[in-house]
Structures are given as structure tokens and as C-alpha cells.
A and B are shown apart, each in its own frame.
Chain A
């Protein structure tokens, strides 16, 4: 465990020493941002909209006390979405989509000697292949989390009003009640931390793949499971430290 952590730290150090030229790094980061961010918009949109909708309907189902105003449903949807669902669920979804893609891509490059080809050319392969992926994830995860927040709250609104469990006025009143701007900052901090964990762990698993196609599959699976576990541990740690 300690040995793996030490290898991970050395892997990250190798990535930031002797980096490639800024222009190369920038172009690679933009390419990766498109793969990580733009290509994930549809899945993140679908997941977050339905999570908001389900949250709204289930809170309404449980909130039967006539003394509690209906606007509380909107308030709870907003709080749950911003604090937990948008950053954590989005990151878990991205761990599956982006994490497996990073680990599979790097693993394939490793077993087909493409990484060796870069090294022989005198190119720092971790700087060229891994750093842009991590930078792109750090850039795109918060943007996707912001999108997930908006769509989740919108999903709750549509579910609440279309199923008739509450009025639009109550929902809007609820989502505007006692708003704490720091919660947005907290969610974005979580998004950045989760982005680093998903991209870093997945790149580490993929980069050090040995063997053949079977091991590439195993590296992808390992990347997703380890990323999700890391997200959940970090989620608890950040909540305990920052809230």
C-alpha cells in the first residue's frame, strides 16, 4: 500500500519535471478537455436531471407533515444537489466514463510500445500523456458539476410541477431560501479534488499496465473501482474538514 502510494507520488513528480513546451501542453490539454468534458455532457445531463427529479419526488413523498411548507422540498433539492449529488454523483459517473477511458488508452499505448516510442524519442511520456489529461480533468470537472447543479435543480422543478406534488411558486421559493454561497465554493473544491483523484489514479493504473489486452481491461476496472473508493473517502474528509 505504502509502496504503491510512493510510486504514485514519484509518478506525479515525473510528470511535472522536464515538462514539454507550453504550446504542446496547451494543445494536448484542449484535446483532452474535449474528450473528457464535451463528450461527457450528454451522460452528465441525463444523470443529473433524473437525480434532481427523483430527489424532488421522493422528498415530496416523505414530507407529509402539513406544518412543513411545500417550499421545503425545493430547499432540500437545492441543498442536496449542491452539497452532495452534483459533485459526487457526477464525479462517480465520470470515474466510469473518463477513468476507464484514460486507463484503457494509456494501457493500450503501453502494451503496444507507443509509450516506449515516446521515451526513446527523448520525450517525457508522463508529461506529454498524463499531465494534459489531469489538467483537462481539473478544468472540466467543475464545469460539468456546475451544469449538473443547474440541470438537477431544473429536473426537480419539472418533476415537481409536472407530477403535481407542488407548485412552481413553492419550488422557486424553496430554492431561493437561505442560500449559502459558500456551498457552491465547497462543491467546486470537491469537484477539483475528485477530478485530480479520478484522472491521477486512472492514469497511474493505465501507465503501468504490463502484459496484454486482458491486463488493459483489468487496469480499466481497477481505475474505476479505485477512483470511486477514493472519491467516497475524499467526500467524507472534505465534508469533515470544510463544513
Chain B
């Protein structure tokens, strides 16, 4: 579990995060939802330690991360896997070398054979068992995301952070990536935090959703609660999509229609 307490962050006097307090539960897909420029990615970067918050604290399973000694921070960082928006694969390495890299660096006690087995397992888990020898430039955007996930889970991470995993992907591939993250989260009981502004992801995998608006947390809940939330900013955000407006209309007209809609998408039908 990750606990974020009263995080504030500003750039050149402009406040971006204004006292965010929230909890990310383990074994669940926690979504940071909000429009562009609301501070989602900044909050994510503060949590993983790429940025230092001005005020507030972040705790990983009871261990304080912010302002702690470098050894403690390193120890926590080694439990973190992260999927970047642009995948951030090392372009001088093959797909297999990318996945093997954190194992080489973080687990020197592993033999070459053990590492090779782990790489094969992770690539197979994300459905890329035949792409190990390809270079990142030779694979598609969706495959890059899957390699990024394989690299993140290779050292058996406890916390998985995904920065807009669906950006630049077509809807079908987006759903595959969402489902893969969801499956992995439950399979390994990982605390997963996903930054997104994609309502498809919310309906697919939103087990715990935190809505940010202008640097503040305005709402948190589940995907079943979000459509009936009484927060004007959240409603403006959700119903800016004509697809969701139509789904809501169906829900209003036929009682429980929205639940059926979500169930259908969960069963692989998508939207």
C-alpha cells in the first residue's frame, strides 16, 4: 500500500499539486484520473522519486520514502517497476536485453541461465516470446508498451506505475494493455498506479479511481460509483465524451444498463 499525505508541489511559484492526500491499495489497479495539466504525472513523479515534493510525505508499506536516507530510498526504488508514456526502452539494446537489464543491475546473484529463464517467462507473459531479438525501433507502439511492462515486472516488483499506458495506441490495443496490467496486478498482488485520462481504462480496470482537478483531489471511488458522482468537475470530465454520455443515457433509461455495459466490457467485449 502506498500512502500519500498532503503533497504540495509548485514550479516557479505556480502551484501544481495542492495538498493531495490519498491511498493506493495493493492488489488493485489504482487510477489517477484527470484532464491534461491537472498534475497527475507530477504526482506520479513525486511518488516514484523523480521529483521532490515541496511539502508532504509518501509512505510505501509503512516505510517513509520522502526525505529518508538514500539507502532506504534505493531499497524502495528497487521494488518499483514503471511503464513510461513513451515506453523509455533502451534503444541500443534488443527487447530481451531491455527486459534482462534490471535483473543484471539489481540482482547480481542471479546466474545468466536464471536471468535468461526469467526474461523468457516475462516476454511470454506479455505475449512477446518471439520478439526477443528485435530492436525497439523494429516493433510497434503496443509491443513497446508490452516490453515496458515485461521490463517492469522482471525483477518481481511490488509497485507498478504506468504513465498513460494507452497514449498513442488504437482502442483495441489499449484494451489489451489495460487487461494485461489488470491481470498482472492481481496475479502478483502488485500495488498498481495508472495515470490516465482515458474513460475506456476507467471502465475496464478502474478498481480505485482518484480524480484530480487543478492540482486538487476532488473525488475517489470505484468505476461503479464514478458515473453517479456528484462532483461537477468530474461530471464535466466524464461526460465530455459522447460515448459515455450515450452510455449514461442508456443507463438512465434502462435501470442497471450501465452495469451490464461495464460487465460486457469486462468480459472482453470492450466498447
Please give the residue numbers on chain A whose beta carbons come within 8 Å of chain B beta carbons, in ascending order. Answer: 18, 20-21, 24, 112-114, 116-117, 119-123, 128
Contacts and interface: CB of A to CB of B under 8 A. Distances in A.
Contacts of A21: 108
Contacts of B91: 112, 114
Contacts of A18: 70, 74
Interface stretch (B9-17, B81-89, B125-133, B222-230): B81-89
A116 B148 CA distance: 13
Contact of B105 (A24, A112, A113, A114): A24
Interface string B94-122: 00000000101110100000000000000
Contacts of B188: none
Given A18-B70, A21-B108, A121-B106, A113 B80 contact: no
Interface in B160-195: 161
Nearest to A108: B91
A20 B104 CA distance: 11
B77 A120 contact: yes
Given A120-B80, A121-B102, A122-B106, A114 B88 contact: yes
Given A21-B108, A113-B85, A114-B91, 16 more contacts: A112-B86, A112-B91, A113-B84, A113-B86, A114-B88, A116-B88, A117-B82, A117-B84, A119-B49, A120-B50, A120-B80, A121-B77, A121-B78, A121-B80, A121-B106, A128-B105
A178 B23 CA distance: 78
Contacts, number: 50
A62 to B, nearest CB: 50
Contact of B84 (A20, A116, A122): A116
Contacts of B85: 113
Contacts of A117: 82, 84, 88, 90
Interface of B: 48-50, 70, 74-75, 77-78, 80, 82, 84-86, 88-91, 102, 104-106, 108, 155, 161
B88 A113 contact: yes
Contacts of B75: 122
A57 to B, nearest CB: 44
A24 B101 CA distance: 11
Contacts of B48: 120
A121 B49 contact: no
B88 A121 contact: no
Nearest to B148: A117
B94 to A, nearest CB: 15
A122 B77 contact: yes
